[in-house]
Amino acid sequence: MADDQLSRVFAALADPTRRDMLARLAVGDATVGELANPYDVSVQAVSKHIKVLADAGLVSQSKDAQRRPCHLEADVFDLMTKWIERYRQQAQERFERLDDVLAIMRGDTQHTDHLHLDSPHLDSPHLDSPHLEQGAAS
């Protein structure tokens, strides 16, 4: 299901338990045991969850004797935000174009210079996928 970074990130965040553990880590670093404490699942299950988060780049683990303190990696959130922002922007542009159309229908003819309703004009880097899907992983 998840091959690229973005897929792994979203898949990791799709689980409420993992999101909850991130919330805990946002407060401060914690060991696997500390993260497991509040839940009634096995430590092994929590360890797996952490592996998923780590594979997604959302969390990093260091070594302190037997302990493996987990640290939240905030950079990945930027990746997501950028991805999301693209859609918000495009949707916004679409609304503006719609406004233009409505303006024309109203008989108003100003600010209609960027009107390309039926020509997809996204100049983002086209990848292997049929539609665009920006390859944001660096």
Residues that bind a second copy (CB under 8 A): 1-4, 6-7, 10-11, 13-17, 19-24, 26-28, 38-39, 72, 74, 77-78, 80-81, 84, 86-88, 90-92, 94, 117, 120, 122, 129-134
Do the beta carbons of residue 137 and residue 6 sit within 8 Å? yes
Residue 45 in contact with DNA, rule: CB under 7 A: yes
Which listed option, DNA, a second copy, none, makes contact with residue 22 (CB within 5 to 8 Å by class)? a second copy
What secondary structure does DSSP assign to 39-78, as a single string? SSS-HHHHHHHHHHHHHTTSEEE--BTTB--EEE-THHHH
Q: How far is the CB of 34 from DNA (least distance, A)?
A: 7
